[in-house]
Each structure stands twice: as C-alpha cells, then as structure tokens.
Amino acid sequence: MTQASIIDGKAFAEGLRGKVAELAAKFEPAAGRKAGLAVVLVGEDPASQVYVRSKGKQTVACGMASFEHKLPEDTTQDVLLALVDQLNADPLVDGILVQLPLPKHLDEQAVVDRISPSKDVDGLTPISTGRLALGLPGLVPCTPLGSLMLLKDRLGNLSGLNAVVIGRSILVGKPMAQLLLGENCTVTIAHSRTQDLPEVVRRADIVVAAVGRPEMVKADWIKPGATVIDVGINRLPPAEGSEKGRLVGDVDFADASTVAGAITPVPGGVGPMTIAVLLRNTIVAAHRNADLALAEDAI
C-alpha cells in the first residue's frame, strides 16, 4: 500500500516569512518607515485573542510594525467604523485586518466594506473580490492563496488539471475556485446540495476541502494519486481522561493518505500558511502604497 507524501505547510510558511523579512528590511530605508499591519479585535473570544497575539508577534519578527486595537464586546458599529476610517487615513498603516467573527450586534459586511481596498490584506472587500474574479491584480484572501502556493510548490504547472473545491464560503471556497481558474484548472465547486458528492470528488486531480465537517472526506472519495488540501480545522470532543480533544481536518487523514499522492496534515498544513500569507499581503500592500516596485510573483 502506498502512502501519500506529506505537504509541510509549516516549513513552507517559515520560508515565506523569511522572504517577507528580507523585503521588509529593504522597504524600511526605501520608504523611510516600516511596513505596518493593524489588527482590530472586538470582544473576548479566546481563539481570536490567541490568533491576534500570534499575528502581532510574527509581524514584529518579520521587521514590520504591528498596531493592535482591542475593543470591548459592547463596542458600537459607529465606534468600530470610526476606527477603520482612522486606520484608512493613517500613512503608517499598510494593512488592516478586522478579526472575524465580530460580536453578533455588529454588521460584519459593513465593517469589511469600509476598509480601503489598498489596505485590505484579508482580500474580503467587494473591490478585492471583484478584482480576483476579473483576473486583475489585487489582495487575495490568505488561506486560499496559501493553499494555492502549496499546490504549485508540489505540482508545478496546474494547467488542465481537474480540481474540486468542497465548500462555497466567501472566505475560502469561492476565492479558491477563482485562483484555480486563474491557473487554468477545470474547477467544480461542491457543497451540501451537490448530488453524489463522493463521485464528484473522485474525478479530481486536486481536492480542496473546506466545509468544517470533521473527517468527512474518506479514502474511497479520492482518485489515486490526487493532491489533497485540507483547509478544515475541527476539534473533536476530548477522550476519557483527556482535557483537550484532538484537532482534525475535513479529510480523514489516515484513511485518505493510503490513496492520495500528496496531502496536507492538520495541524501543520494549511494553518501555518494563513498568517504567513497575511504578512506577505502586508508587504505587498506596503510597496504599492509607497509606490515602490516589487516582483509580487516572487513571493
């Protein structure tokens, strides 16, 4: 029985952060300032707090300025929008990321819409989304772009390959499909209403799973030799005598690894790429905002 190659997102992300740090070191003397990333956190969500803290540390480690804005749970829509306006106008800020999800009383889409497209390092504003759909240069959502980087590093030219994206969210599924179309793949977006989902997935040379259902994709769904990118992060209930449940993806890793040609693990696959690509997007935005040339395809 063959065993799939493991796609090491942790190692790739480390290399990407190294490239960002080199560019940041050159950017500072050329622009007369550091590239800057502002992260806005509303409320006390523990997972979001850990994520924001990690973003801040990695931003500073790459030689860029980190601006963290922590607001209370009961922050009003007007106060949050005013902060976004302030960051849009701040010449020291190149990227703005509002940590999602926001508390339920806030209108997430209105907040995202308020971010200047030139600082939209999460790639979620309507203008960023439209530019991606039109194949124009722009800032692209971090997780899909990181997934594409892993695919291209593993497979090289993706042109002509059949790709199935399981999930149609605006955060991953839809932008992932657009990126794969841009690489000349034949793309199918599958979702909860797709008929005979396993049969659809079996036709794919590339499978990207982003549905949030633990270990849903099994070995008999996978075409032998296919490349599998597992975007899902799900925590299973803790076993008896254990405090924490283990993290698993949307793909049954042990099962699918016996059929796939290459596969990302969870954790250690796509996850580390998300923050690394956020830093990449920030240095790209900084060069654009400072009107400095950058070979963006090189990072």
SS3 for 64?
coil
Residue type, 130: G
Which residues have a Cβ under 8 Å from the Cβ of 199 and sit 6 or more positions away? none
Q: Is 275 annotated as a binding residue?
A: no
Query: Is 152 a catalytic site residue?
Result: no
DSSP secondary-structure letter at 267?
T
Question: Closest by alpha carbon to 102, among 88, 114, 112, 93?
Answer: 112
Distance CA 299, CA 296 (A): 6
Cβ distance 88 to 76 under 8 Å?
no
Q: According to the annotation, is 233 in a ligand binding site?
A: yes
Residue of 94, 120, 122, 230 marked catalytic: 122
Please check whether residue 219 is in contact with residue 228, taking contact to mean a CB–CB distance below 8 angstroms: no
Contact 7, 270 (CB under 8 A): no
263 is in an annotated binding site: no
Q: Given the residues 58, 94, 99, 178, select the one marked as catalytic.
A: 99
55 is catalytic: yes
242 marked among binding-site residues: no
β-pairing verdict for 247-248 and 234-235 = antiparallel
Tell me the residue ranges of DSSP E strands in the chain: 5-6, 36-42, 65-71, 95-98, 162-166, 186-190, 206-209, 227-230, 234-235, 247-248, 262-263
Examine the residue annotation and report whether 99 is marked as an active-site residue of this protein.
yes
Binding residues for NADP(+): 167-169, 233
Q: Residues comprising the binding site?
A: 167-169, 233
Active site residues per annotation = 55, 99, 122
